[in-house]
Amino acid sequence: MNYRDFGQTGIKVSALGFGAMRLPTTDPDDRTQIDEALATRMVRYAIDHGVNYIDTAYPYHSGESERFVGRVLQDGYREKVHLATKLPMWSIEAEGDAERILNEQLEKLQTDHIDFYLFHGLRKPRWETVQEFDLLTWAEGPLNDGRIRHLGFSFHDNTEVFKMIVDAYDGWDFCQVQYNYMDVQNQAGTEGVKYAADKGLGVIVMEPLLGGRLVDPPEPVQAIWDSAPTVQTPVERALRWLWDQPEVSLVLSGMSTMAHVVENVALAGMYGVGNMSETDQALIARARAKYEELCPIPCTKCEYCLPCAVELNIPRLFDTLNRGVMYNKIEEARERYERMDEAQRAAACIACHECEEKCPQSIPISEWMVHIEEILGRGMDVDACLAEMAG
């Protein structure tokens, strides 16, 4: 396992962190049903092989992720890792909410302190929540009494807002951003990553595989990888690209199978800064351009849009269309859509827009629901519908 400096904290963190957002479940339709036996083997394998950073959050697995992490870190494992969780900004509605939630998290995690505590999913409106409830002043309390060791934030907005938040508080130790070879100009982007690192912050990368979209490439992208002089998996190329950058302190992976853990742990010991040639970088740029041509909806399957008011599985619907378009298998996508219950199809959307307020990617979800129904449900022309959406 390679280890990297975590900003100016003086702490060395493993190049790979274990993200507990996509743990395996015993029921694919019920995220609360964590497959505890398998997930325990996965997390402990990672720790036994050098991973020293475990990340969870209040809403992951509908609140069950923190409880699971509290259990899996028993038997001496808590002392081997830096533990991170997050304050759900959308739940802060009154004075005292942050204090109550933090104490609840400590109880669920079965610990007396959280090493790295984040304000979760900051965007401009949620930054206003920080200011309204003076949460930075509140955070000084648990920082001083030791319940929190380091304060940071995760982020979903544009580069300008990111820089504003970085500069607004001298006490930030770290930040967590969505970043991968497809997001160089999206959200914080490469510019934001470099800006935070220059300010001395540790930089944690989430969504390194863009919600899994970079794992199983469509044929035009695979053709680019096949043209390379060296054989590597798409996962290897994506993670290697991130670890090549000195500004990146740690890459989080939301692993859901033991195979993911074994592969990623091995890769984290192989690659570091300066491992990519100009040829490698050019190959990544070609793949990026091809993906941008193919994928219509920028959904990362983070599930922040859930629960839906009418219980639609929004990421599943987006994935159905995306895969049909990207893989040029729209008829298969239509068959998959037809097998869904009517209540689970896009036509059931009531356009309440609640999901759009939660979406880190600012996707116009209700508009896409109309086009998903047109393309997959009514068999309308794909190119015409996508052109209308783009226009």
pLDDT in tens, 317-335: 999 999 888 877 899 999 9
pLDDT of residue 251: 98
Q: Mean pLDDT in the chain?
A: 94
**What distances in angstroms separate CA 123 from CA 59, 85, 129, 154, 352, one per listed residue?**
17, 18, 10, 9, 21
Give the tokens for residue 88: 């759900």
Alpha carbon distance 258, 46 (integer Å): 10
Domains of the chain in sequence order:
3-292 (3.20.20.100), 314-390 (no CATH)
pLDDT of residue 195: 98
Short-list 368, 298, 286, 365, CA closest to 326: 298
What one-letter code names the amino acid at 362?
Answer: S
**What distances in angstroms separate CA 274 from CA 14, 112, 229, one per listed residue?**
17, 39, 18
Stated pTM of the model: 0.82
Alpha carbon distance 73, 82 (integer Å): 11
Contact 51, 14 (CB under 8 A): yes
Q: Taking 90 as the threshold, does the pLDDT of residue 87 lie above it?
A: yes
Three-point CA angle 127, 129, 134, nearest 5°: 100
pLDDT of residue 389: 81
Q: Taking 90 as the threshold, does the pLDDT of residue 263 lie above it?
A: yes
Contact 205, 175 (CB under 8 A): no
